[in-house]
Amino acid sequence: MSLEENSTYRCVSPNHIQLPGQPSSKFIDRFIRLKTTYWNREYAIVLLAIIGLCITSQQFSTYSTYIEFMNQPNKTDNFHRDGCIPYNMLGYIVGLIPGGVLATFYPAHNILGICVAISSIGHVIVIMSLSYLNGLTLRILQFCIGMAMAVADLSIDRVWTYWVPLNKQSIRHVPMVLYLVLIEEGYLRDTMDKLHNEHSSYTLTLLIGVIGLAWYVLWLYVINGNYSFWSLSRDFILFGGLNNSRYAFGTYGESLTRSIVSDIPWKSIWTSKPFLAIVVLYVCDNRLYQSYYYSDLYSNGVFEWTMRDNTVVLLLLIVVLVELVPEIALPISTTNVRKIWSCSYFGSLGIIFFLEAILGNSIRNNKIFQYLFKEMRHLYNFGFYANTLDIAPKYASLLSGFLMCTHYYISDFVWEYVVRPILTFAKPNEVETAILMTIICFAVAVFYAIFASAELQPWADESDEENQQNVVENDNK
């Protein structure tokens, strides 16, 4: 199903509903509006997509746990000790940019479905024949599974922006935020680890793959709506058509791959100040998180993981505030919402580092600082993390691929070849290092406040591109 065909299924929630025979009540009307906004088919599709991502995430997690289980003594002799897990991560990294391109020019919901299916099929094959596969075959399978996982992770952004368009309502990203919290806080991982200890590790690991295949069947049924499943063609099931009519299969002339790549506004993307502001925040956030959170003083033995329950409770309160204030009380623009949360996040980190410089690095202080750090970290999910969905809905998956590459490559490069040599030359003590971190946090917050935006960028405006394409096609007739 093409995106054009699917457009008839998307509904626009009414801004105001007045029931006949009832007195006018602003609270009731707004409550009904919120209900119709979030209780609909579009949000059901996004929720099902999030469940699919959770399944692929758990497939990797359960496979890693299964490898550890099989590495225990007296399990088996004919076994690949590392399970070729590094090749899974290599495939994931390699698939980031191609995955963003696929999800941009093909219907992302179909790309997501087929990638979850590929990951599930590969997962089942690997688990059932792990002791019989040679090393090369297992490496290839793990590499392909990793690429499928990367494409699925990127496709969710375009699925989100297509089925649940923002319409300048920032709060519509809340379900995505809750999904991130579930993944980041490790609730699903801990639950699966307990099940591994209580039940058969092989059966549970295999079951996750079967659940992924069952999810794919349900996904096809939900996405295709009233269409008969058995009447779907191969191209329809795999890709569902293209986002752009001139990329249809069977067209002649210019290479399809070259045409798609040339139509991406590469220069506009990397010269866009709002996008560069997001990139800067990704670079700084990744290094701050690794250097601060994974230090010896912030080990799991210092921080009680039972505090995660308090974290989620506070996050839910934040969700309620973000839900009610912009939607009911005050008409806050999406740009201001993004700036408030992002600047609050980095500003709070700057305060934490400043307090660390004053109070010192005692275990008690570090315990409090880490708790505050984890609480404040949830704010960026409402801020710059979702900002790409605002500025370029059409290219959301591609921009996410760039940002993930930033997370894995650019941040490490900047740290190793820029920041670390400076610190090595200056040799600052702990207080000076904390002050430097404070300055970086506040500088990043100011930079984002100046250059960030949540407005649709001209190079990402689909209507202008479609009009220009129609003019070109008419001239060629």
Among 57-61, 70-74, 132-136, 386-390, which is the least confidently predicted range?
A: 70-74
**pTM, two decimal places:** 0.78
Contact assessment for residue 82 and residue 136, using Cβ atoms and an 8 Å cutoff? no
The pLDDT score that the predictor gives to residue 186 is 63
| pLDDT higher than 70, residue 290 | no
Among 84-98, 198-212, 395-409, which is the least confidently predicted range?
A: 198-212
Burial pattern 145-173, b for ≥16 Cβ within 10 A else e, equals bbbbbbbbbbbbbbbbbbbbebebebbbb
Q: How confident is the model at residue 257 (pLDDT cuts 50, 70, 90)?
A: low
Q: Which domains does the chain have, with CATH numbers?
A: 26-264 (1.20.1250), 267-463 (1.20.1250)
Among 36-50, 279-293, 446-460, which is the least confidently predicted range?
A: 279-293
Q: How confident is the model at residue 301 (pLDDT cuts 50, 70, 90)?
A: very low
More confident residue, 343 or 407: 343
**What sign does the dihedral 362-366-367-368 (CA atoms) show?**
positive
The pLDDT score that the predictor gives to residue 167 is 57
The pLDDT score that the predictor gives to residue 295 is 53
Q: What is the 3-state secondary structure (H, E, C) of the chain?
A: CCHHHHHHHCCCCCCCCCCCCCCCCHHHHHHHHHHHHHCCHHHHHHHHHHHHHHHHHHHHHHHHHHHHHHCCCCCCCCCCCCCCHHHHHHHHHHCHHHHHHHHHHCCHHHHHHHHHHHHHHHHHHHHHCCCCCCHHHHHHHHHHHHHHHHHHHHHHHHHHHHHCCCCCCHHHHHHHHHHHHHHHHCHHHHHHHHHHHHCCHHHHHHHHHHHHHHHHHHHHHHHHCCCCHHHCCHHHHHCCCCCCHHHCCCCCCCCHHHHHHHCCCHHHHHCCHHHHHHHHHHHHHHHHHHHHHCCHHHCCCCCCCCHHHHHHHHHHHHHHHHHHHHHHHCCCCHHHHHHHHHHHHHHHHHHHHHHHHHHCCCHHHHHHHHHHHHHHHCHHHHCHHHHHHHHCCCCHHHHHHHHHHHHHHHHHHHHHHHHHHHHHHHCCCHHHHHHHHHHHHHHHHHHHHHHCCCCCCHHHCHHHHHHHHHHHHHHHC
The pLDDT score that the predictor gives to residue 8 is 44
- Give CA–CA dist 257/45, Å, rounded: 29
- Averaged confidence pLDDT in the chain: 74
